[in-house]
Structure 1
């Protein structure tokens, strides 16, 4: 494990360098309440590591990275500096970017703000905008109260009750490793933050693959709209998948991701 530091507020970020050191760099960015461990646990490191240099990071407030309790610590501007700090620490000028959920939302903002740092963009269950109530829609209505009163176990229990089944072991482990107060601050800021505009989407020149489950109605609708207005984007709808199971099992996802990356990578 290695660390990077945000140049504005000094938050420490943990990241990992895996895979083929001579391959094109591919940055893997997880979603809310998860960590970089999900990419290994779900099989993506094994599948992609032979060809690509994989850089995975724990977002601030998650995993082994520092976990501020102040809502102001989780603005998108600071998160974008986190991502760039990790790339700088790895000595990488530009990388392919694969983000899930909030990680994908970061990718939209990164591509709009500093497009020269991205070789290509894969958005899994992502959106370029956020609507009021989105966090409750993704998890459950009383998520903040559950975090405040019962911590991460209460949050996990509430989500599993809403979706009607147990989450996979990798997701469960990542959720329970979180700091409940840091996650509350992160969710509060995420709910208030703005995304990027359709005008910015129309100027988004980075080759993009949009992945969304057929049961993930809001993200699928946003991905369809993004595919309509972005100049170089393609959409794959994943049948019978909701937001939480977009990435797993990985085979259908990799069947789209691997050829997309190959088309936009340097030859071996």
Structure 2
């Protein structure tokens, strides 16, 4: 999706999500008033191709896909906003080509300040992959820890379970996770936000502090809820993106 005019803002969704979820919540309509919004379907999601080969889903390759979109849109630099799995792609992009990133918004994810090798995959991820390969959504949701049936139904629509499984397995092949990202390479410190019920919130907060990043807690929200709470999130992100720094010129 490519809507609005102004500075470019790239939106990168999480696992099982697509550009359509940003629209459904209302983010695209709201931010397209002030930005040129480029909402991207990462490989394996939405309208993008859905290969079943894990090797296609390395984070460094997903970041290259985003660069290709920027090139096609003739965009030199953009604000980049990732949520959940989308934060991995966002940070991989910023780490490999910081000159393309004006600012970085990290929602429900990590800044990857330390190497975080993903090979072999943790037991939870292996269970998710096994469930998807078996076509067993119930088992998958149990492993994911999502028990709200409405959310499950929304996220299942249009999915290719084998492609999603491959996208998870691809994490173990990503050299990106073996590096430590230095946010100082960016034009401005990142913005990080997490739901107050997020299991990683303490680590998210301390990593943000270590990186000199701004951190916001979305009260009363878990991982999925923090994405859906546009009333709380949009003003925080809007204010952050509107700031100017001497290095923005």
Partner Cα distance (1:196, 1:111) in 2 = 15
For structure 1, list consecutive stretches of 5 or more residues without a partner in the other structure: 1-15
Q: CA deviation at 1:78?
A: 0.9
Question: Judging changes above 3 Å, is the alpha-carbon distance between structure 1 residues 135 and 180 closer, same or farther for their aligned structure 2 residues?
Answer: farther
DSSP-derived class of the 1:173 partner: helix
Pair 1:35 & 2:18 matched: yes
Between the aligned partners of 2:92 and 2:78, the Cα distance in structure 1 is 15
Residues 1:182 and 2:167 are matched in the alignment: no
Matched residues in 2 for 1:156 and 1:47: separation?
A: 33
- Write 1 or 2 for the structure with the bigger share of helix: 2
Kindly state the Cα deviation for residue 167 of structure 1 after the two structures are TM-superposed.
3.9
Which residue in 1 is equivalent to 2:68?
85
In structure 2, the gaps of 5 or more residues are none
Task: Flag as ranges the 4+ runs of structure 1 deviating above 6 A.
Answer: none
Provide Cα deviations, 1:133-155, integer angstroms capped at 9, x if missing partner: 66837xxx73223212225x446
* Equivalent residue, structure 2, for 1:53: 36
2-structure distance, mates of 1:105, 1:235? 17
SS in 2 for 1:195: helix
Equivalent residue in structure 1 for 2:210, among 214, 225, 229: 229
Q: Which residue of 1 aligns with 2:53?
A: 70
Partner of 1:44: 27
Matched, 1:238 2:218: yes
Task: Give the 3 Å change call, closer, same or farther, for CA 84–150 of structure 1 in structure 2.
Answer: same
CA distance change for structure 1 residues 116 and 217 in 2, over 3 Å: closer, same or farther? same
- In the TM superposition, what whole-angstrom CA distance separates every residue of 1:218-240 from its partner, at most 9, and x where no partner exists? 2x233223322324x20001112
Q: Any conservation in 2 of the 1:37–1:174 contact (CA below 8 Å)?
A: no
TM-score by length of 1: 0.80
1:213 equivalent to 2:199? Answer no
**TM-score between the two structures when normalised by the length of structure 2:** 0.85
Report the count of equivalent residues.
240
